[in-house]
A and B are shown apart, each in its own frame.
Chain A
Amino acid sequence: MSGPVSSLPAGGVARAPLRLRLATDRLAVRILLAVALSMLGAALLIALSGHGPLTAFAAMAVGAAGSAHQIGAALNRTTPYLLAGSGVALCFRAGIINIGAEGQIAVGGIGAVAVALATPAGMPPLLAILAALLGGALAGAAWAAVATAIHIGRHVHEVLATLLLNFVAVLLVQQALAGPLGQFGAGFLQSPLLPRAIWLPRLPLIEAHPGFLIALAVAAALSFVLWRTRFGFALRVAGASRPAAAYAGFSLARLTWGVMLLAGALAGLAGGIEVLGVQRRLIEGFSLGFGFKAVTVALLGALEPLAVVPAALFVGLLEAGALSMQRQIGVPSALVAVIEGLTMMFVLAATVRRA
């Protein structure tokens, strides 16, 4: 089922428990080194563009964490990466290369908005929010189910099935906005603003929505699932050796369904939280790139849900700080994409094992 593509990132990354791996392979050290190298590369590029790297990084740091407002924005940015990324990490652990978070997040946004717009006005806000988020999660899971059905039913490689459905999902958002969910006469593709009662509340002190806390809890829960449950054990065996999983009596189809639906639901939840907590309406392209970065974040976190937390924070803070860097000293924020790319390369180089 999993061809050479599957064995590349997932097979290359060590699969022993995190504690053990950190001790034996100094994985954490190597990943940190990779991150440091990519920052060095970024510094070089900034210097080449005629700015001071230190000033630029300082501007970035201030932009990401200079005030309660900015910290909040950075955490909001981190949330979808963490939610979708830890789901992706679980899939990769099982040797299932799910590249579909991008589409699952988008469809999750549709689901959440559809439920939110259909909610009767008198409903208690908490209930309405939960219903909308549930709608997002279910929609994400459903989109993952389409890919899984194609993969298992028709033996299409999961990379293809999940990847291609991402493009369909983007069109689906457009279609929904051009039709039932769209705001008539808005000029561009967006839904009407959601009723205020359904917006995610703000946390005190830092101006983040509670999505980040949900994502933290999810990462912790997934780590528990991976190491302490039979399902997690089966996932790890399947990821290490398909014949061994069959011998152990685990049904690969059932495992695939389970982990894909779980990851899809989390990606859909990420889409719902983004819509309810940040955009407050469905906008064309609201989640562009989120799902692909979730894959980056999962690998950066060595496919360990708990380690995905710092990985997601790194990317989230970087992106939140980038805009401010651009505003303050004129270094283009596109540089962040370069840093992310460099990090990805260095991390893969640092974690893939020599045979």
Chain B
Amino acid sequence: MPDATVASPLLEMRGIVRSFGAVRANDGIDLDVQAGRILGLLGENGSGKSTLMKVLFGMLPPDAGSIVFRGRPLAGHRPAAAMAAGIAMIHQHFMLIDAMTVVDNVMLGWPEAGRVLRRAAMAARVREASRRFGLDLDPDAPVASLPLGRRQRVEILKAILRDAQLLILDEPTSNLAPSEVAGLLAILRRLRAEGRGIVFITHKMPEVLEVCDEVVVLRAGRVAGRTPVAGASPQQLAEMMVGRSVAAAPAPAAQAPGAVRLSVQGLTAPGLSGVTFALCGGEILGVAGVDGNGQIELAETLAGLRRARGGRITLDGRDITHASAAARVAAGLAYMPADRAHTALVRSMSVAENLMLRDSARPPYARGALLSPAGRRGRARTLMGEYDIRAAGPDTPAGRLSGGNQQKIVVARELDRRPAVLVAHQATWGLDPGATRFVLDRMLALRDGGAAVLYISSELEEVLAIGDRIAVLADGGFAGVVARAAADLPQIGLWMAGRAA
């Protein structure tokens, strides 16, 4: 154990500069992290948070600047060297082998596991650490059987066992259920109590207020402010991020719903046990619930990516139960998938090509069988302006954009079609508060234009803020549906826990 005193920082980054072409993602950033402290790293989408952490972890070489970690300079390093020095990074997409067990994953690529693997001894260490930090992990469980929150804990466990003194978590909570988030925050507190340093990137103010000791806010690649959390309000923090005041989301005006646009009757599929609801034009149905209770199944079955086993789906009176995904798009059904990395976007393709992903048969993207590159670029420029998608240009590969800007591509594409019905699953995932507001406003506008929206999210607050009615998905079915005005939290909590009223 190093002597971790508050006086000498665990990590000192000085004057970090990193450019991508003309974009200065990091423009002279200083960052200190103390041992035994949790630092919240905030900032708008594309402000340079992930880039800074990739520089620290040795995934990107900086153009200028220096890093001192535990008193030793760190330069020209690769992730392996960063890990050996005591830094761990918990990635958004976990680097685990699904087919292997927890303990096997822990031993993977770890010299200390020995040439001849001592599995039993290692399993004991896993069990011990799991108890100490309240991770609740069974060493022999296959990773494939674990929910997302547990998989993340395996990553944390790896960091703990490798004795990492600094943990980097880049938006670790964005796809966790609320209960999982609470668990994660508790684990972070324990790690802090042990004297480890933590960098925690998030867009969610309540989380910041709950665990962070101080925050550093980035804007356009520079430090826009730093402040201790004690005494700060969410409003202040949000203002520091965007550089202007952010008004609270207005309560959506209630209006009389129109005719039924989407009707779902007794829909069954693997993971769905008879879902029934009707969605009217001018209405948003918010679907809350703990992730893994049929959200992805419901969304994909509606979108035509999974086959319904029974039941009926009609859109504007037309039966689309067995229609192809393409036919549903043509019928006016838009879908924003939660899986951004592999489904909603093709990272290696350009922003423009991603914007036309589901509309490649239509003008201005195509005439007949031929694509129109000019039409594609023109449309892309318009949408990039309209939705504030920050990228070097329409031909930039989508994977190069910051997480939030990638999500804006998905939002722009699905809304631009002026759909009759929108199925949105974790639509604001990874968006900063300003962008989240923007997307929610767009959905309200879509609704006010007479469309119907099914808004599926594991974030109860968002569902409550935007839904005209609230449904709770539990065990593959709707445990209950209430009008927002009549919603009461304890009841919703019970439904979410899978207990009928």
Contacts and interface: CB of A to CB of B under 8 A. Distances in A.
A61 B358 CA distance: 51
A20 B352 CA distance: 14
Contacts of B335: 247
A248 B325 CA distance: 8
Contacts of B324: 249, 251
Contact of A16 (B342, B360, B369, B397): B397
A231 B369 contact: yes
A329 to B, nearest CB: 47
B348 A244 contact: no
Interface string A204-241: 00000000000000000000000111111110110011
Given A20-B395, A229-B370, A234-B360, A244 B325 contact: no
B346 A244 contact: yes
B366 interface: yes
B391 to A, nearest CB: 14
Interface in B311-353: 324-326, 329, 335, 337, 339, 342-350, 353
Contacts of A228: 370-371, 373
B400 to A, nearest CB: 10
B360 A230 contact: yes
Contacts of A124: none
Q: Which of A234, A237, A241, A244 has the most CB of B within 10 A?
A: A244
Contacts of B344: 244, 247
Given A241-B343, A246-B325, A248-B357, A229 B349 contact: no
A14 B397 CA distance: 12
Interface residues of A, number: 24
Nearest to B354: A244
Contact of A233 (B305, B326, B343, B353): B353
B342 A241 contact: yes
A246 B370 contact: no
Contact of B358 (A20, A236, A243, A248): A248
Interface in A275-329: none
A247 B358 contact: yes
A240 B344 CA distance: 12
Contacts of B325: 246-249
Nearest to A240: B346
A142 B449 CA distance: 52
A16 B366 CA distance: 20
Contacts of A241: 342-343, 346
A250 B359 CA distance: 11
A27 to B, nearest CB: 14
Contacts of B366: 230
A30 interface: no
Contact of B348 (A15, A230, A231, A251): A15
B445 interface: no
Contacts of A229: 369-371
Given A244-B345, A246-B325, 9 more contacts: A228-B370, A229-B369, A229-B370, A230-B360, A240-B348, A241-B343, A241-B346, A247-B305, A249-B358
Interface of A: 14-16, 20, 227-234, 236-237, 240-241, 243-244, 246-251
